[in-house]
Amino acid sequence: MHYTIKAQIYTGEDSGFIAECIELPIVTQGQTLDEVVKNLREATAIPGHVINLKRMH
């Protein structure tokens, strides 16, 4: 089963990036975009399911 989770990613006040899920109460951060996306995947992990994080413009 696949789930799509929408998140807003923006630059942090001092450095790095912050990701906030739109529909879930999840916030994470990372020094790079790759790191913040990895952290977001970990924070939203549901055992036995695939999370689809699509890039939205």
CB 7 within 8 A of CB 55: no
Residue labelled with tokens 């689809």: 52
Overall domain count for the chain: 1
Residue 47 lies in a domain: yes
33-52 confidence digits (pLDDT tens): 999 999 998 888 866 555 56
Tell me if 57 is assigned to some domain.
no
Q: Name 43's Cβ contacts closer than 8 Å, sequence gap at least 6.
A: 26, 28
Angle at CA 8, nearest 5°, toward 6 and 10? 160
> By residue range, what is the domain housing residue 47?
2-52
* CA atoms of 45 and 31, how far apart (whole Å): 20
CA distance linking residue 2 with residue 16, whole number of Å: 29
42: in domain: yes
Per-residue pLDDT reduced to its tens digit, 2-40? 778 889 999 999 999 999 999 889 899 999 999 999 999
pLDDT at residue 34 in the model: 94
pTM of the model: 0.73
Question: Has residue 21 been placed in a domain?
Answer: yes
pLDDT at 47: 62
Residue 19 is predicted with a pLDDT of 95
